[in-house]
Chain A
């Protein structure tokens, strides 16, 4: 057995790994290494984003990925995704019912009063975006006091269980299309096992968007909001919470809760149209859901789901309605990989480019002179 001897290229790579890791420890003596629990709790939104884009619910490994990537969300999601590639897929859960979510936040923009009530929960929506200077030098005592006080002042009765869906009421009034019963029977498209060959089913679109890069989804959804499209959504319901994950018991076969995943789910109502199965017009819907607490992503996804359904039905009229355009450009791992690859040597192709330009210029000179 023999390997190629390590030369300049190998030494350069070893060097860059060293300096990259050194930058993590630049605080020197004063520094303490970040522990994964701190990342998971104190940078929880960043953490949730990495889980969502990495497409694997592994809280501790997501923290590790963030630590290792020194906070780069694209890199961290990428590390998780690559880890996922090495794991066999052992089983599938049945369809999980999100009305069973243990909610931490739930709002509707469509109705003032909703069954179960609005629950603002943890949101920055109404924060004044002014720097909280007191956090600059936060003491451990103060940190612990906040933790302790919130629990002691929150009556147990305020900690809710689960709520009915806002859309149920509208559906009973016949203002919404009937759920596609056949869709529930169809095997959902598995984007990790099959390439996207267009046209793709809605389940493929939803799965792709659920692990899409947040900024990419937002940018394309925003183009629709601004006028390159006409979804004009009303957020019927946005919920954040923990969804119980059920699996058949290995012996009895009975569905058993094996854990829970934090999720954000959004349902939007859009302009009505004639329904194929019903005689009268009904509202149209868009759906978004992703791992973690990530409202911008869930809303963007719900808008794009509606836009894509419209595009699949009557042909795309703008980029956000074109399944190929949206779904092939929102994956962070794909797009960042290709973007960074341009830094690699392209000596050969550039040599070839120069050859073409010189030949063309020579011909132009010959023509001018001739």
Chain B
């Protein structure tokens, strides 16, 4: 018995269903379109929703980039990429954001602004922002139908009363085109503004929860806030208030990973976006905000 599959692993009917759902998702920005979601040969939670989108989109002329936590060499990114290389003969893969026509990512949107001819697919564990306040999917569907997000706002308000700060760190609820509120996948708050009037189409795939949704290009994407409490991205200031720099490329304008140096025990900072860091390290002309640390 052969386990050799057609181009893109999924059968053509499965791809058709994903394609129909993706078109609906784009036509109804921010709305979670349900779809049947086939089992993939990797775990539910490892990017099967993003993968089904990628496999339904990809063609032999594609240049694909796969990242996890901003890194092309993260084990899960490597695993997904080699599966796609194996099942989609003829495609190119790259680590360079600028070269990719299709990007599948978990937890990050690249620092390098995307172009109109690129599409980014984000892997989603929890597609529904209302799960913070309502466990029943049926009830959440009603709330979305009425575009009733009052309980989310109450949760934010309670945070302010209790901690004087909104405690949502990532997966920040974001209102699309002034209508639906979506879960932007576990990207940091740092990446949320990149969704607003993006040049590139952003697609979201939740395999286990069986939902596809989208933010079309040039569409309002506004984090849910109160008028007197501004939305704030992660703060990378040091004790004296200066912006921390990446220890490799010196960039002071990227999202940083923080860890302790195993030799010195010192806390060090490094770009989370591996390609961004690499490009800056090799470039002689550094953009503004980069110091030669």
Contact = CB atoms under 8 A, between A and B. Distances in A.
Q: Are A and B direct contacts in the complex by CB distance below 8 Å?
A: yes
B93 A4 contact: yes
Contact of B78 (A10, A196, A345, A355): A10
A360 interface: yes
Contact of A324 (B44, B48, B74, B137): B137
Given A88-B11, A337-B44, A341-B43, A192 B36 contact: yes
A4 B234 contact: no
A61 interface: yes
Interface in B35-66: 35-41, 43-46, 48
A194 B136 CA distance: 19
Nearest to A337: B44
Given A86-B11, A194-B36, A337-B45, A345 B69 contact: yes
Given A1-B92, A351-B257, A82 B40 contact: yes
A88 B38 CA distance: 12
A349 B169 CA distance: 7
A194 B10 CA distance: 16
Interface of chain A, main secondary structure: helix
A197 interface: yes
B189 interface: yes
B93 A2 contact: yes
Given A195-B210, A344-B68, A348-B255, A3 B92 contact: yes
A333 B256 CA distance: 34
Contacts of A13: 75, 78-79, 82
B81 interface: yes
Given A199-B138, A347-B257, A4 B72 contact: yes
B125 interface: yes
B34 A348 contact: no
Given A13-B75, A341-B45, A352-B169, A347 B36 contact: no
Interface string B106-138: 011000000000000000010000000000111
27 contacts: A4-B94, A4-B95, A7-B73, A7-B78, A10-B78, A12-B75, A78-B39, A88-B11, A192-B38, A337-B45, A337-B46, A338-B45, A338-B208, A339-B45, A341-B44, A346-B186, A348-B69, A348-B186, A348-B255, A348-B257, A349-B186, A349-B188, A351-B257, A351-B272, A353-B169, A353-B170, A360-B164
